Amino acid sequence: MQETDGFGDRKVTTRKVRAVIFDMDNTLFDFVEAKLRACRAVVEHLGAGDEEELLRYFLRGMHGFEDLENIADYMLDKGVYSQEKYEECCRIYEEVKLNSIEPYPHVRETLERLRDLGLKLAVVTDAMNGHAVSRLRKAGLLHYFDVVVSADMTGKRKPEPDSIKFALEKLGVDAKEAILVGDSVRRDIEAGKRLGMMTVYAAYGDRNFFEEKSREADFVIESISKLLDVFGY
């Protein structure tokens, strides 16, 4: 349930909330920018093409958004492939991508405030567990979360709700007692709605260029700090 709190048209929740579940990439930090920097490092090493061209290989959906085979395809199309070069490019890509991870402004303060309110916090991501933990640790955020659930832990990706359900079970809360925060309307908001959760669309991080925005969230925020407004703070 939502209501106007008397301060303009800002809405707050009147539902009892015990937990907040966050998507990770582009919700807590700009992952597309990190990938773009990694792509730039690769093309500079190869001396072939440009970073946006390589990024488009990851966006094709042929191998998956994080599959390194996209780099192999790019190198083959550019006529610069060798196994040795490929392995070096993969090393450069992964190293630069991780080193480029930085939380959005106000993420740490917001997570600290949510913890102070007694809320349980979790991350549910389509990334693999090793990548998820490494990124959260690099961003200095891992210790804020009670639970981190990755796609390889359930075998399902969002908008299938399996990973979110698993996180709720680990937290010991019902779906109606939790808020889902994510940058993807199709994957995050749709998944949360299917479980009857309250949903918050992180519009500030939406880099889903080809996604239809057909499913409405309960709240839309332009900065993660605005998440506190949902609770009336």
pLDDT at 64: 87
Higher pLDDT, 3 or 76: 76
Mean pLDDT of 138-151: 98
pLDDT tens, 14-49?
Answer: 679 999 999 999 999 999 999 999 999 999 999 999
Which range of residues forms the domain containing residue 209? Answer: 2-29+103-231
Q: Is 95 helix (H, G, I), strand (E, B) or coil?
A: helix
Q: How many distinct structural domains can be found in the chain?
A: 2
Do 20 and 131 sit in the same domain of this protein?
yes
Mean pLDDT of 79-107: 98
CA distance 94 to 118: 36
Which of 99, 117, 133 is the last residue in one of the domains? 99
Which of 51, 81, 99 is the last residue in one of the domains? 99
Do 83 and 157 sit in the same domain of this protein?
no
Give residue 221's pLDDT band: very low, low, confident or very high (50, 70, 90): very high
pLDDT at 216: 86
Considering the chain, what is the average pLDDT of its residues?
91
pLDDT reading at 214 higher than 70:
no
List the helix and strand counts (H, then E) for the chain: 9, 8
Do 87 and 195 sit in the same domain of this protein?
no
Query: Is the entire prediction scored with pTM above 0.75?
Result: yes
Do 189 and 225 sit in the same domain of this protein?
yes
Q: In this prediction, what percent of the chain has a pLDDT beyond 70?
A: 91
Do 15 and 40 sit in the same domain of this protein?
no
CA distance 58 to 73: 10
